[in-house]
Amino acid sequence: MYILVINAGSSSLKYQLFDMPLDKPLCTGLIERIGTNEAFIRHKILTVDPTQTIERQEAIADHSAGLQQMVELLSDAEIGLIHSADDIKAVGHRVVHGGERFANATLITPAVKETIKDLFPLAPLHNPINYQCIEIAEKTFPNARQIAVFDTAFHQTMPEYAFRYAIPESLYTDEGIRVYGFHGTSHKYVSEKAAAWLGKPDAKLISIHLGNGCSITAVQNGKSLDTSMGFSPLAGLVMGTRSGDIDPSVIFHLIAKGYSADAVNNLLNKQSGMQGLTGLNDMRDIRKALEAGNQAAALALDIYAYRIQKYIGSYAAVLNGLDALIFTAGVGENDSAMREQICANLDFLAVYLDSDKNRVATGDVREVNRSDSAVKILVIPTNEELEIAQQSFDLLETA
């Protein structure tokens, strides 16, 4: 069964084509920096030896244009893997916000689409893009089953004392205001990998997902106990364009100064974080600025790492111990300097990073801690696409 997985981020589009139940993709693709004139496309065909890779840089205005590029590559007369749209039996979509309604993979119906649309205000950088990708996929693959896998689903195991805010109960019961958490598909995948690596199903883990969006989750027994993102993906760590945690009084102060609510929302979601601190939202560009002596970049990296350290300390307390730190996603997997900065000054947890291993380690699960570290430090490439494909396949098998 050919299942195409579409994983759309705020400025990226990842996709993989699977022939399920095999867990190895036939091809993978990544489109980065969508919305710029320097978007980058990498399409890998894994059914040939050696792997065939197509790379190019060009202007891609939005996710619709990115999906069109994906379809052209998949169906290309010379390198394509499908003969027609009917070859695709299901399309699995990553959808960021499912509210309390969705705790599992779900067949997409008009009612499900309306719920996703209703949740736009809670995930303004993602749910509209996820919705757009669903609509394009429905037209492109009209006979395929469309399936949504929600980032919020994994965090439905949080205890009520962790997901409730200290506000009037009616705001929870009537308005659904609570901690939902995000990046759940990623946190679920890497925490299961870590538990298997450790040979400890009940492992106490802190999973750190660092990309353009960032979140950190406390996991035990394979269940999410607490997570940094909250009612929306705005809360928690410093991110590419999002502020992360901020005193709510700042919002009231800005509104009193004449900002509209929409302007403040746009400011905190799209103009803050590393973008607000440096004018740049891509960590690779910020590293280049640091190398050029940019002091704003140096401060921004200090703030970014410091916020993560604070959460590590608090989640070690939540777990009452710690077996492993997990680094995943673009920055977590590839920025060895940031991993080193985050793991510094964690002696009280007996967390000791091995600088040499950290710089050169390779593999599906990379252990970068010193031998005397009481806590394992693991770098695990996330594979949200495989997780989505598996959940989609399981849903169709039981439907």
Phi and psi torsions of 322, nearest 5°: -160, 130
151 is catalytic: yes
Cβ-Cβ contacts under 8 Å for 92 (sequence gap 6 or more): 3, 4, 5, 6, 105, 147, 148, 149, 388, 389, 391, 392
Question: Tens digit of pLDDT per residue, the chain (399 long)?
Answer: 999 999 887 788 899 999 999 888 999 999 999 989 999 999 999 998 899 999 999 999 988 888 889 988 998 888 899 988 889 999 999 998 898 888 889 999 999 999 999 988 877 878 999 999 999 899 889 999 999 999 999 999 999 999 999 999 999 999 889 999 999 999 999 999 999 999 999 999 999 999 999 999 999 999 999 999 999 889 999 999 999 999 999 999 999 999 999 999 999 999 999 999 999 999 999 999 999 999 999 999 999 999 999 999 999 999 999 999 999 999 999 999 999 999 999 999 999 999 999 998 678 899 999 999 999 999 999 988 999 999 999 999 987
Task: Say if strands 324-328 and 204-210 run parallel, antiparallel, or are unpaired.
Answer: parallel
**Which residues are part of a known binding site for Mg(2+)?**
7, 384
Tell me which residue has tokens 């680094």. 327
Does domain 2-150 match CATH 3.30.70.890? no
Neighbours of 323 (CB within 10 A): 20
Q: How far apart are CA 102 and CA 112, in angstroms?
A: 9
pLDDT tens, 119-168? Answer: 888 778 789 999 999 998 998 899 999 999 999 999 999 999 999 999 99
Neighbours of 340 (CB within 10 A): 16
Rounded-to-5 percentages of helix, strand, coil across the chain: 40, 20, 35
User: For the domain bounded by 199-379, which CATH number is listed?
Assistant: 3.30.420.40
User: What local confidence, expressed as pLDDT, does residue 126 receive?
Assistant: 83
Q: How far apart are CA 172 and CA 336, in angstroms?
A: 41
**Which residues are part of a known binding site for ATP?**
14, 209-213, 282-284, 330-334
**Which residues are part of a known binding site?**
7, 14, 94, 209-213, 282-284, 330-334, 384
CA 155 to chain centre: 14
Task: Say if strands 214-220 and 36-45 run parallel, antiparallel, or are unpaired.
Answer: unpaired
User: What local confidence, expressed as pLDDT, does residue 326 receive?
Assistant: 98
Single out the catalytic residue among 23, 118, 151, 174.
151
Cβ-Cβ contacts under 8 Å for 82 (sequence gap 6 or more): 2, 17, 74, 75, 88
User: What local confidence, expressed as pLDDT, does residue 361 receive?
Assistant: 66
Q: Is 33 helix (H, G, I), strand (E, B) or coil?
A: coil
Q: Are the C-beta atoms of 94 and 384 separated by less than 8 Å?
A: yes
Residue type, 250: V
Enclosing H/E stretch for 134? helix 127-140
Q: How far apart are CA 341 and CA 306, in angstroms?
A: 9
Domain boundaries, the chain: 2-150, 199-379
**Which residues are part of a known binding site for substrate?**
94
